[in-house]
């Protein structure tokens, strides 16, 4: 656990953590909740079951801040995509705050404006090549002073891609998530 954890201002309520049946690290969820609570549009690569997108949308709602979660997730079969929507629709109060694009991140980066997102969260393809592509395609989306964060930075390939291609200052280290500030 790093200094960042101690600096967190916002505490994720236990009932919100339970609401989305989040698994794994509470402090990672707390970090995402905290970042989203600041407001502004959020860009996520790697929708998966939609838990992180839902959690961040919940933070926008809880704090009454403007913003939307743009989540990009490619699944290997259509059934998985249907399941994501089924899951997201279970939370009608959040659905307007989530825009889900079911495509590979490398195919849609042009759809998102540069310098527009205070928070970009990369949790898609965790191979070295996948993370390199996401850094190249999505680094430019971060607003000045904003943060790009990566999940699973404990994986060697993820860590190597970041160290070779990002070049920004580490500003947050919360279990497997590392955040880096734009403009450093």
Ligand X SMILES: C[S@@+](CC[C@H](N)C(=O)[O-])C[C@H]1O[C@@H](n2cnc3c(N)ncnc32)[C@H](O)[C@@H]1O
Q: Using CB under 6 A, list all residues that contact ligand X.
A: 45-46, 48-52, 72-75, 104-106, 123-125, 130
Report yes or no: 120 and 147 within 8 Å, Cβ to Cβ. yes
> Whose structure tokens read 């759809």?
111
Using CB positions, name the residue nearest to ligand X: 48
CB of 129 to ligand X, least distance (A): 10
User: In angstroms, rounded to a whole number, what is the distance separating the alpha carbons of residues 78 and 83?
Assistant: 9
Instruction: Spell out the residues 6+ positions from residue 47 whose beta carbon is closer than 8 angstroms to its own.
Output: 53, 71, 72, 73, 84, 100, 102
CB of 82 to ligand X, least distance (A): 13
User: In angstroms, rounded to a whole number, what is the distance separating the alpha carbons of residues 88 and 98?
Assistant: 9
CB of 69 to ligand X, least distance (A): 11
Instruction: Give 3-state DSSP helix, strand, coil % of the chain, rounded to 5.
Output: 45, 20, 35
Whose Cβ is closer to ligand X: residue 4's or residue 43's?
43
Whose Cβ is closer to ligand X: residue 176's or residue 181's?
176
Whose Cβ is closer to ligand X: residue 57's or residue 144's?
57
Whose Cβ is closer to ligand X: residue 38's or residue 125's?
125
CB of 51 to ligand X, least distance (A): 3
């Amino acid at each position: 656990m790093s200094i960042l954890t101690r600096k967190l201002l916002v505490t994720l309520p236990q009932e919100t953590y339970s609401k989305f049946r989040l698994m794994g690290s509470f402090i990672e969820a707390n970090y995402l909740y905290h970042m989203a609570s600041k407001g502004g549009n959020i860009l996520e690569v790697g929708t998966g079951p939609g838990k992180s997108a839902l959690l961040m949308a919940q933070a926008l709602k809880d704090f009454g801040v403007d913003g939307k979660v743009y989540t990009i997730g490619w699944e290997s079969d259509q059934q998985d995509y249907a399941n994501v929507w089924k899951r997201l629709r279970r939370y009608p109060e959040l659905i307007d705050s989530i825009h889900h694009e079911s495509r590979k991140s490398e195919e849609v980066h042009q759809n998102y404006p540069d310098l527009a997102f205070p928070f970009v969260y990369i949790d898609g393809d965790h191979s070295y090549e996948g993370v390199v592509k996401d850094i190249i395609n999505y680094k430019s989306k971060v607003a000045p002073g904003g943060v790009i964060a990566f999940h699973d930075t404990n994986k060697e390939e993820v860590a190597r891609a970041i160290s070779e291609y990002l070049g920004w200052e580490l500003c947050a280290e919360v279990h497997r998530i590392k955040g880096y500030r734009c403009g450093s």
